[in-house]
Chains A and B, each alone.
Chain A
Amino acid sequence: MEITVKDLKFTYSAKTKSLAFRALKGVSVNIGEGEIFGIIGKTGSGKSTFIQHLNGLIKVQKDAGSIVIGEYDLTDKKCDYRSLRAKIGMMFQYPEHQLFAETVEGDVAFALKNFAPELSDGEIESRVKDALALTGLNYDLIKNSSPFDLSGGQKRRVAIAGVIVAKPEILILDEPAAGLDPKGKREFLELLLRLHKDFVKTIIIVSHDMNLVAEYCTNAAVFADGKILSCGTPKEIFSDKSLIEESGLNVPLTAFLVEKLKEKGVLIDCDLTVDGFIDGVCRALNLKGE
């Protein structure tokens, strides 16, 4: 499903003039199927308000632009949000804070039971099993544990299992790696890549971690003051100095190094992933040797 957002505006407390706050001031963006799309920008730039629109947690206000996701027109009063939400999984910051059930199995099955009440107990069990397996957890060992007895990394896996159990086509994640230790973070991001190869077609990541965006995102949008300042590949975004300054962001380490070497007159042409950068450096060295 492709996501097309046109001139989206949103005002909090719109009915009370003195408190009204314009969080989105005309956002247009196109997110194609298959992308891992980054959303970056300072605190308060409108990122969260924007993503909450995408699965209808915030409804599009009157005369405030449009959102079309696949066959769903979110400005249409008859839009079937229930089936839309089954197709768009959303994981907030610190999703482990949302765990609530007595057992891991109960927690993971919760959304599925709501989205697909027609499923038999056996079918639900096998879907829960699959979802936990995808996150690298062993169903038989963990199904009866309390989610609250697990480690931070495990809790986050259970939380995402509860989202992917509904087999969403689009996954939206707010700071997916925050609070995880370095290895937990790497494993979690690798899990996302596996899901992306499986049934999840599009992933949207909100993050303050520019290294993560450079490494994993195909495209990204830079939010500032309720608008999108720029949209493009990480390479396009992070090589635009005035854009980075205006948006109050920093650059990933690879972009910093490319820039430093440029000051010396060495041009490294590469994408900004770690491996891309290393290839770029090796190419530059070979050229120098010749």
Chain B
Amino acid sequence: MPLLEVKNVSFSYVKNKQTLKDVSFSVEKGEFLAIIGHNGSGKSTLAKLLNGLLKPNSGEIIVDGYSSSDKNAVFEIRKRVGMVFQNPDNQLIASIVEDDIAFGPENLGLPREEIGKRIDFALKAVGMQDFRKATPERLSGGQKQRIAIAGVLALMPQVLVLDESTAMLDPEGRKEIAEVVDNLREKGVAVIAITHYMEEAVKADKILVLDRGEIALSGTPKEVFAKKSELDALNLELPLAGIIADKLRARGLNIADDVVSDAELAGALWKLL
């Protein structure tokens, strides 16, 4: 059984206008799923459904055996699915890093010792051990976002949902978050990232493309980015490496059709020149 299963989920904010239509997919332990789609395609709504911030109008979401259609399961689902949003400033609440991270576990009523352990674990997972007593507002954007992630990790979620969590970060911050994601996947945490950066999506195991609330395409990055005309019609593009590969091919250069990542393009040029 997959860790998270979305079964025929539909949702609307207002009558007669469906934001999500019959969406189904599943995520396994340790898997990295990227969700892409143009502005207004329903990505963020989907994210909020995944941890019970919103409830499906029809269909169900099953996380680790708990179903969204069971009223009593919503807290179990939230414990298992952690969310990090775009702006860490909206998600940090305490004036000391360790207090901020303790907030979630304290609300679960965990014993003091266990909370201490959770803080250690979470800070280590995001590489911020040295900032335990720091003030969040004095940290850089990337550091703040890592603290926001640590606050979620302290609840030991099995799924981490990142809703454009790198959009406001500088290159270093983005790299830091990518490292955290890799680290979590090794620990078996599934990561679902909503992003406008095709360069991020290309690193995922699977990509889901949303269009007007429906799944328009899905598959591995190679499969999805092979469908150029479909992507174009969906307001999306290839990652820059794929665009450059295309242009080189148009100039008669022999570059394999499936080149989409930076490293692959570098490899192809290396062979050619």
CB distance from B233 to the nearest CB of A (A): 10
CB distance from B12 to the nearest CB of A (A): 16
Residues of A within 8 A of B237 (CB): 182-183, 186
Q: Produce 1/0 per residue, B227-256, CB < 8 A to A.
A: 000001001110011011001100101000
Whether, in the assembled complex, A288 has its beta carbon less than 8 Å from a beta carbon of chain B, the answer is: yes
Whether, in the assembled complex, A42 has its beta carbon less than 8 Å from a beta carbon of chain B, the answer is: yes
Interface SS majority for chain A? helix
Residues of B within 8 A of A151 (CB): 39-40
CB distance from A181 to the nearest CB of B (A): 4
Can you list 8 A-B contacts with CB-CB less than 8 angstroms, sorted by A residue number?
A: A42-B172, A181-B196, A257-B262, A261-B273, A264-B273, A278-B251, A281-B253, A285-B272
Interface pair B173/A179, CB less than 8 Å apart: no
Complexed CA–CA distance, A124 and B198 (Å): 41
Further 17 A-B residue pairs, CB within 8 A, beyond A183-B38, A183-B236: A42-B172, A43-B141, A175-B168, A178-B167, A180-B39, A181-B236, A183-B232, A211-B240, A248-B172, A249-B170, A261-B273, A264-B273, A274-B240, A278-B247, A281-B248, A281-B253, A285-B273
Whether, in the assembled complex, A194 has its beta carbon less than 8 Å from a beta carbon of chain B, the answer is: no
- Tell whether A257 pairs with B167 under 8 Å between CB atoms, given A182-B236, A184-B39, A281-B273: no
Interface residues of B in 36-95 (CB under 8 A from A): 37-40, 86
CB distance from A22 to the nearest CB of B (A): 14
Complexed CA–CA distance, A282 and B232 (Å): 27
- Tell whether A179 pairs with B170 under 8 Å between CB atoms, given A42-B140, A278-B248: no
Interface pair A181/B171, CB less than 8 Å apart: no
Complexed CA–CA distance, A127 and B164 (Å): 36
- Tell whether A208 pairs with B169 under 8 Å between CB atoms, given A183-B237, A281-B253: yes
CB distance from A156 to the nearest CB of B (A): 9
Complexed CA–CA distance, A284 and B270 (Å): 12
Interface pair A274/B244, CB less than 8 Å apart: yes
Interface pair B269/A179, CB less than 8 Å apart: no
Q: Chain A interface (Cβ within 8 Å of chain B)?
A: 41-44, 93, 151-153, 175, 178-186, 208, 210-211, 248-250, 253-254, 256-257, 260-261, 264, 266, 274-275, 277-278, 281-282, 284-285, 288
Residues of B within 8 A of A260 (CB): 266, 269-270
- What is the chain A residue whose CB lies nearest that of B270? A264
- Tell whether A250 pairs with B171 under 8 Å between CB atoms, given A260-B266, A281-B248: yes
Complexed CA–CA distance, A181 and B209 (Å): 12
Whether, in the assembled complex, B142 has its beta carbon less than 8 Å from a beta carbon of chain A, the answer is: yes
Residues of A within 8 A of B37 (CB): 181
Whether, in the assembled complex, B175 has its beta carbon less than 8 Å from a beta carbon of chain A, the answer is: yes
Complexed CA–CA distance, A22 and B141 (Å): 18
Residues of A within 8 A of B266 (CB): 256-257, 260-261
Residues of B within 8 A of A285 (CB): 253, 272-273
Whether, in the assembled complex, B96 has its beta carbon less than 8 Å from a beta carbon of chain A, the answer is: no
Interface pair B235/A288, CB less than 8 Å apart: no
Residues of B within 8 A of A210 (CB): 171
Complexed CA–CA distance, A141 and B171 (Å): 40
Complexed CA–CA distance, A186 and B164 (Å): 19
- What is the chain B residue whose CB lies nearest that of A152? B39
- Tell whether A274 pairs with B270 under 8 Å between CB atoms, given A182-B196, A250-B175, A257-B265: no
Interface pair A181/B253, CB less than 8 Å apart: no
Complexed CA–CA distance, A35 and B173 (Å): 29
